[in-house]
Copies of this chain bind each other. A is one copy, B any other.
């Protein structure tokens, strides 16, 4: 037991908040965990499974006297939640969020918050294709990155305290500028998700191939795509709408590149295809090499990054 926060309020009770509740309890990191979800059904489920110490019927109750408030709602809902809780925040409280987009959250949440609280945006790079209050589990963040995008004037003590919680839940943390975060994630997560959704949609439309065939003969490639494409629709709608510029930029590059390869197939240019596939194979090797390094204390630090 090493309590880091007296009272933690989880707003939104999905996969991430649920996993935080499990992880904080396992580590004895919070004295009390309150929770709120907009949907009464979600609140009922959370109560049934005892997800939090107290599930509140109003977001105001949930955040009152909380030392840490975690906004774990879809990115598009963050601004409204911030406006509603702002008058009820305890001086010195830390507010963080777990949204997959950071600049938009800063723009929509920041202006609502009083000067006497610490807003530290964050993003755990962890998840599964499941969602809802029952989807969480304590080890979700173990050895996964949790990126923080603090504003320039962030209080170092508040940042350190939040950071200690994340590390105690098993996460590796790093800090990044919000706009840069959004570009990195557009490449590594947002565009790949849209592409996976698209490919699964194409399969669904192809009437000459039966659904049974698509499903039964889904080899590695497509099976992985369907897993990605099963992620929460509301969360991902908001990601794309709120990281629009970076996502469209990456998708534009992607289609240029795809057209080049399509042309190589059409023209029978085997050398170009082979060269391309050889290059992409090397990138995978880099990921595996990086993965093998996880035990090393300096793993994952971009030169110059202030790893925590």
Contact = CB atoms under 8 A, between A and B. Distances in A.
Copies in the complex: 2
Nearest to A216: B300
A16 to B, nearest CB: 13
Per DSSP, are chain A's interface residues mostly helix, strand or loop, or mixed? helix
B248 A266 contact: yes
A217 B305 CA distance: 13
Given A194-B258, A266-B244, A228 B220 contact: yes
Contacts of A43: none
A204 to B, nearest CB: 6
A196 to B, nearest CB: 7
Interface centre among A198, A248, A302 (most CB of B within 10 A): A198
A210 interface: yes
A221 interface: yes
A225 interface: yes
Please classify how large the interface on chain A is, using the bins under 10, 10 to 19, 20 to 34, 35 or more: 35 or more
A114 to B, nearest CB: 30
A270 B255 contact: no
Interface stretch (A58-66, A91-99, A283-291): A283-291
19 contacts: A125-B219, A147-B217, A183-B208, A184-B214, A187-B214, A188-B217, A192-B222, A198-B257, A201-B257, A202-B250, A204-B279, A212-B300, A213-B302, A215-B290, A229-B283, A230-B284, A241-B268, A244-B266, A248-B265
